[in-house]
């Protein structure tokens, strides 16, 4: 494996953000609505939107909130260039008043406030994750970009957390999905947020550079199959690790070890693939302390013998080989066989370093196959996951939405024939209620003007999506979920590194009760409205049925 990179390049990330997520990265109808607001003189009206999702992903009991820092960088850099405005002039209807384009030239987020759940927090369906307040035209224009930044980041972060739960806390997880990702930006986003969700390593070098994620890799089958004979190995010598001796003929040294390995395992040297051995030798000479080849290009048995011979030669010279990668077949059964040969070599040849060799397993790993792997005897130390992780094959979208809840200080509510698509009106506060053991058991959504619930004091609330009446609960602890992250054009909450957010994820997950973390058939977590907010919902619904003009239904 390559040595991990510890470089964190926040400056490079910030510099490139305006190019990666410009204000034109949105839907056309945001501009047509903004124009209509402007034309009607409503563009400066104070408005509040909130962002949430309707169902927990992957049939699970929770999600993770991710993408907040990118949202804050986007708000901070939100300005239209002359080139942006010229393009908008060419695509908006010719009847658009030219003064609107002058309005866009002066637009920024200096009047925007964003309150949010902290990044890396365990969250649940229907809980408002983010509240965006400001001039109506501006906060409308932000919709698509904010959704784009939160939807995939939260989804792939949650997927990674599920893989981590399936793997258990000890096994190392390597993300290697760049080649399967939906484009370069999708690949970078996946590497960043799968690390935050619980993966230890990435194969993505650019992600290591930008986000400080440890990078790792092995070798491809193409490298192995590119060699045909030992004549292709160059250089043919290798010096000892301490540098005291002259370089030795590494090929001859390895051949001697190969005969001895074949003898103790009862294998025929004549069946060894010379090209594979040449590939291993060449790579080991180049990286004697990072030797971790894939051993199933032809057969695991053949590859294992070649690896052991090269690795024993490296050990004799004082170097430390790393291990092997398995990429096909029954990984559990093969890993047990490989580990048995490692132990045999360690004991027979008195080479203790063979006891610390690692086995990496990669072979189209899914969440289900990870669960099955954990249920069988195996000796796999590191699991590499690509396609099923970064493409989120079980569920391709989280389905976050961005809905208007207040205009000019008055609540707004979407009424739908589908109750699932109705929204909850008004500016809100969200509190997480914990039991006596410190486990969250209910998220309470209140109007922002309500006093917060108090520990030890019973309260009545209305579970969302339930047909039942109110329930009474008594929290042992109460935590406010919102923080003010962006105020008057400035980021007001410190941005976090990937490593810091990753630690927050693990802390947040540890507090969640196991019944809500089950990968299959988890117990539903309760999200409830306060009595006052429930009364407002009922009042607005009654007003809608009476054709009240107070409602904005869209």
* pLDDT in the model for residue 522: 98
Rounded to an integer, what distance in angstroms lies between the CA atom of residue 250 and that of residue 261? 16
* pLDDT in the model for residue 554: 42
φ and ψ of 108, to 5 deg: -150, -170
Average pLDDT over the chain, rounded to an integer: 94
Whether residue 553 has pLDDT greater than 80: no
Rounded to an integer, what distance in angstroms lies between the CA atom of residue 47 and that of residue 408? 6
What's the whole-number mean pLDDT along residues 480-496?
96
Whether residue 29 has pLDDT greater than 80: yes
* pLDDT in the model for residue 545: 64
Give the pLDDT band of residue 416 (cuts 50, 70, 90).
confident
Q: Is 177 exposed, middle or buried (0-12, 13-18, 19+ CB in 10 A)?
A: buried
For the record, the structure tokens of 176 come out as: 């290697």
What's the whole-number mean pLDDT along residues 538-553?
67
* pLDDT in the model for residue 8: 44
* pLDDT in the model for residue 550: 44
For the record, the structure tokens of 48 come out as: 């509040």
pTM comes to 0.94
The per-residue pLDDT for range 295-311, each reduced to its tens digit, is 999 999 999 999 999 99
Which value, to the nearest 10 degrees, does the dihedral of the CA atoms of residues 373, 375, 381, 385 take? 30
Rounded to an integer, what distance in angstroms lies between the CA atom of residue 455 and that of residue 297? 61
For the record, the structure tokens of 501 come out as: 């957010």
**Contacts within 8 Å (CB) and 24+ apart, 532-540:** 532/446, 532/447, 532/450, 533/424, 533/426, 533/428, 533/445, 533/446, 533/447, 533/450, 534/461, 534/462, 534/470, 536/411, 536/425, 536/426, 536/447, 537/413, 537/424, 537/425, 540/411, 540/413, 540/415, 540/425
User: pLDDT above 90 covers what percent of the chain?
Assistant: 90
The per-residue pLDDT for range 347-361, each reduced to its tens digit, is 999 999 999 999 999
For the record, the structure tokens of 331 come out as: 């990984």
Greater confidence (484 vs 542) lies with 484
- Alpha helices in 440-497, H assignment, sequence order: none
The per-residue pLDDT for range 63-78, each reduced to its tens digit, is 999 999 999 999 999 9
* pLDDT in the model for residue 83: 97
Whether residue 224 has pLDDT greater than 90: yes
* pLDDT in the model for residue 546: 64
Whether residue 220 has pLDDT greater than 60: yes
The per-residue pLDDT for range 260-308, each reduced to its tens digit, is 999 999 999 888 999 999 999 999 999 999 999 999 999 999 999 999 9
For the chain, domains (ranges, CATH) are 1-425+480-509 (3.20.20.70)
User: pLDDT above 70 covers what percent of the chain?
Assistant: 95
Strand residue runs (E) in 356-448: 358-361, 382-385, 401-407, 410-411, 428-434, 440-447
Distances in Å between the alpha carbon of 263 and those of 305, 315, 316, 344?
Answer: 11, 19, 19, 12
For the record, the structure tokens of 174 come out as: 């390597």
Give the pLDDT band of residue 31 (cuts 50, 70, 90).
very high
For the record, the structure tokens of 142 come out as: 């932000």
422-436 CB burial, b ≥16 within 10 A, e <16: bbbbbbbbbbbbbee
The per-residue pLDDT for range 145-197, each reduced to its tens digit, is 999 999 999 999 999 999 999 999 999 999 999 999 999 999 999 999 999 99
Beta carbons of 121 and 493 less than 8 angstroms apart: no
Per DSSP, 243 falls in state S
The per-residue pLDDT for range 443-473, each reduced to its tens digit, is 999 999 999 999 999 999 999 987 668 999 9
105-121 CB burial, b ≥16 within 10 A, e <16: eebebeebbbbbbbbbb
The per-residue pLDDT for range 107-143, each reduced to its tens digit, is 999 999 999 999 999 999 999 999 999 999 999 999 9
Per DSSP, 396 falls in state S
Which value, to the nearest 10 degrees, does the dihedral of the CA atoms of residues 260, 266, 271, 277 take? -40
């Amino acid at each position: 494996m390559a040595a991990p990179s510890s470089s964190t390049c926040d400056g490079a990330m910030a510099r490139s953000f305006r190019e990666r997520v410009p204000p034109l990265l949105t839907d056309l109808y945001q501009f047509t609505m903004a124009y209509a607001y402007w034309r009607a003189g409503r563009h400066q009206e104070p408005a509040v939107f909130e962002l949430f999702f309707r169902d927990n992903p992957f049939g699970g009991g929770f999600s993770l909130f991710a993408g907040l820092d990118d949202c804050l960088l986007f708000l901070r850099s939100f300005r239209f260039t002359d080139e942006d405005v010229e393009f908008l002039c060419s695509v908006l209807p010719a009847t658009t008043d030219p003064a609107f384009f002058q309005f866009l030239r002066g637009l920024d987020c200096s009047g925007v406030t964003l309150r949010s759940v902290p990044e890396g927090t365990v969250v649940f369906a229907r809980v408002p994750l983010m509240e965006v307040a400001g001039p109506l035209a501006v906060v409308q224009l932000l919709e698509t970009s904010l959704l784009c930044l939160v939807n995939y980041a939260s989804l792939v972060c949650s997927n990674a957390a599920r893989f981590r739960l399936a793997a258990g806390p000890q096994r190392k997880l390597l993300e290697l999905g760049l080649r399967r990702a939906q484009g370069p930006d999708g690949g970078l986003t996946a590497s960043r947020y799968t690390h935050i969700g619980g993966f230890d390593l990435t194969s993505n070098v650019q992600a290591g550079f930008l986000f400080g994620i440890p990078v790792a890799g092995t070798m491809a089958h193409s490298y192995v199959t590119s060699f045909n004979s030992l004549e292709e190995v160059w250089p043919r010598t290798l010096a000892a690790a301490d540098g005291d001796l002259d370089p030795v003929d590494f090929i001859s040294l390895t051949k001697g070890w190969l005969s001895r390995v074949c003898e103790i395992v009862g294998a025929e040297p004549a069946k060894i693939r010379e090209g594979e051995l040449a590939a291993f030798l060449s790579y080991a000479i180049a990286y004697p302390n990072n030797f971790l080849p894939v051993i199933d290009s032809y057969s695991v048995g053949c590859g294992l013998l070649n690896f052991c011979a090269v690795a024993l030669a490296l050990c004799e010279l004082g170097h430390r080989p790393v291990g092997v990668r398995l990429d096909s077949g029954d990984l559990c059964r093969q890993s047990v066989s490989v580990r048995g040969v490692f132990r045999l070599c360690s004991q027979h040849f008195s080479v203790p370093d063979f006891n610390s060799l690692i086995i990496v397993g990669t072979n189209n790993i899914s969440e289900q196959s990870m669960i099955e792997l954990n249920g069988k005897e195996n000796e796999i130390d590191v699991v590499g996951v690509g396609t099923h992780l970064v493409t989120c094959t079980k569920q391709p979208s989280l389905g976050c939405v961005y809905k208007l809840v207040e205009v000019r200080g008055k609540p707004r509510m979407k009424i739908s024939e589908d109750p699932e698509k109705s929204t909850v009106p008004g500016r809100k506060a969200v509190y997480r209620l914990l039991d006596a053991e410190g486990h969250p058991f209910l998220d309470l959504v209140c109007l922002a003007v309500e006093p917060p619930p108090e520990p030890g004091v019973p309260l009545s609330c209305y579970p969302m999506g339930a047909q039942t009446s109110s329930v009474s609960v008594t929290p042992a602890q109460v935590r406010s979920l919102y923080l003010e992250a962006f105020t008057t054009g400035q980021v007001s909450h410190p941005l976090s590194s990937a490593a810091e957010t990753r630690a927050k994820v693990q802390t947040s997950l540890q507090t969640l009760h196991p019944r809500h973390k089950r990968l299959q058939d988890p117990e539903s977590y309760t999200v409830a409205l306060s009595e006052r907010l429930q009364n407002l919902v009922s009042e607005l619904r009654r007003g809608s049925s009476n054709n009240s003009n107070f409602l904005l239904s869209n």
